[in-house]
Amino acid sequence: MATKITTKKPLTGNRRSHAQNATKMKQKPNLQKKTINGEKVILSAREARTINKSKKAA
């Protein structure tokens, strides 16, 4: 089982039509499964990108 290391949660708000009707909506974070040092983890796409950048620099 993958370990979740991110703390990101969905953003909530209202969708607005031209008539200004409000309906609830969620924007979910872009969570990905990735293997780091032989361990499967769940992290956001931005965090995965940062890890890849730090690996290339080292």
Digitized pLDDT (tens) for each residue of the chain, 58 residues in all? 889 999 999 999 999 999 999 999 999 999 999 998 899 999 999 999 999 998 888 7
pTM of the model: 0.73
Question: What per-residue confidence (pLDDT) applies to 42?
Answer: 96
Per-domain residue ranges of the chain: 3-57
Give bridge partners of residue 39 from the DSSP assignment: 36
User: In CATH, which superfamily holds the domain spanning 3-57?
Assistant: Ribosomal protein L28/L24 (2.30.170.40)
The residue with tokens 């607005």 is 16
Q: 32 is written with which tokens?
A: 């990905």
